[in-house]
């Protein structure tokens, strides 16, 4: 049903030929953070722990003889994990008439996973299994990962943007390739509407399916209200998942804002209860520095009502962008 997207992306990729660049430029940006936080819950008192973040991104590009623009991006991140210090990297070819085509060597997302962050800001990630606290659940998505294509179409009408994604069939994998699309509407002042659906390219047919997500956000004066919903549906129904979230933000001034949000992760497994999360956070921005404080709560993090599945978290952070 998505053959037209495969044909369009294949034809577009085939049309990109090697040409010389007229001029190029190279730039570098970075980010760093210092954080302190602590967990508490039944049979757990994590105390206060310190952490830091550091990364920088090198970007470069230039305009070609044929009017196209080519750019590259390479991120070095000490928290990249098994990939070592080298993290997301991509090549983008674009023009006003063609739109923008990006090949992600690492860190790519589908049209849907690229916009499915919850309204509350993925609170679940603070309590996922990687933290070693409990066998917790995470937000399932259709992110294709490495060597995937994303295409943003040129403007078709004011206030409407269309993005496509393509994940090739994997070597030694009988599952078909996957495609996806996202449509964003911003034609009314303060309103943002996004709808997206993408194929899930699983390692087996039982783990393949589709992910659908939508987002509604409306800003009125200093208040912004946002709702999001993601539906993850594969052949193995015990892996299906619905994630819903709402958040309200209040901008106190150009520098200060506060947000309250909730998230719910619903499993279709019989006997599972919903995992529920809440967050209250505030931030102060001054130049390239952001000071933040947050309180988070999680209940039923492993889809059970066990006492050791409920947690609280507090955190303070100082982030820099340069």
pLDDT at 9: 41
pLDDT at 278: 98
3-state helix, strand, coil in the chain (%, to 5): 10, 55, 35
Can you name the CATH fold of 3-321?
Porin (2.40.160)
pLDDT at 128: 77
Q: For the residues 4-15, what does the mean pLDDT come to?
A: 40
* pLDDT over threshold 60, residue 112: yes
The segment with the largest mean pLDDT, out of 124-138, 150-164, 246-260, is 246-260
Element (H, E) at 14: helix 3-14
Query: What confidence tens digit (pLDDT) does each residue in 212-226 have?
Result: 999 999 999 999 999
pLDDT top residue among 275 and 175? 275
Sorted by where each begins, the domain ranges of the chain are 3-321
pLDDT at 130: 47
pLDDT band at 76 (very low <50, low <70, confident <90, very high): confident
Element (H, E) at 5: helix 3-14
Residue with tokens 């936080």: 37
pLDDT top residue among 159 and 267? 159
pLDDT top residue among 21 and 137? 137
The C-alpha atoms of residue 175 and residue 90 are separated, in whole angstroms, by: 25
Give the global pTM: 0.82
User: Mean pLDDT for the chain?
Assistant: 83
């Amino acid at each position: 049903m998505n053959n037209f997207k495969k044909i369009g992306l294949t034809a577009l990729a085939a049309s990109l030929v090697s040409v010389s660049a007229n001029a190029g430029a190279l730039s570098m940006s970075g980010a760093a953070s210092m954080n302190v936080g602590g967990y508490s819950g039944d049979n757990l008192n994590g105390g206060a722990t310190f952490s830091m973040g550091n990364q920088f991104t090198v970007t470069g590009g230039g305009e070609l003889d044929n009017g196209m623009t080519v750019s590259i991006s390479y991120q070095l991140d000490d928290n990249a994990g098994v990939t070592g210090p080298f993290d997301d990297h991509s090549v983008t070819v674009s023009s006003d008439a063609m739109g923008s085509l990006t090949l992600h060597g690492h860190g790519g997302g589908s049209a849907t996973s690229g916009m499915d962050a919850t309204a509350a800001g993925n609170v679940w990630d603070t309590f996922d299994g990687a933290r070693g606290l409990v066998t917790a659940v995470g937000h399932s998505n259709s992110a294709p990962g490495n060597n995937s294509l994303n295409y943003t179409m040129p403007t078709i009408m004011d206030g409407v943007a269309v993005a496509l994604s393509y994940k090739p069939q994997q070597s030694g994998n009988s599952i078909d390739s996957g495609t996806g699309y996202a449509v964003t509407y911003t034609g009314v002042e303060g309103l943002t509407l996004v709808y997206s659906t993408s194929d899930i390219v699983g390692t087996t047919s039982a783990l393949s399916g589709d992910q659908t997500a939508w987002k509604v956000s409306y800003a009125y004066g200093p208040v912004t209200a946002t709702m999001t919903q993601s539906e993850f549906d594969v052949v193995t129904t015990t892996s299906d998942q619905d994630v819903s979230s709402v958040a309200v933000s209040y901008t106190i001034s150009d520098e200060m804002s506060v947000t309250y949000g909730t998230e719910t992760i619903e499993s279709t497994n019989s006997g599972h209860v919903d995992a529920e999360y809440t967050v209250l956070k505030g931030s102060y921005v001054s130049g390239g520095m952001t000071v933040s404080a947050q309180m988070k709560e999680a209940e039923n993090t492993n889809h059970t009502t066990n006492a050791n599945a409920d947690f609280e978290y507090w955190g303070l952070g100082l982030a820099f962008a340069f």
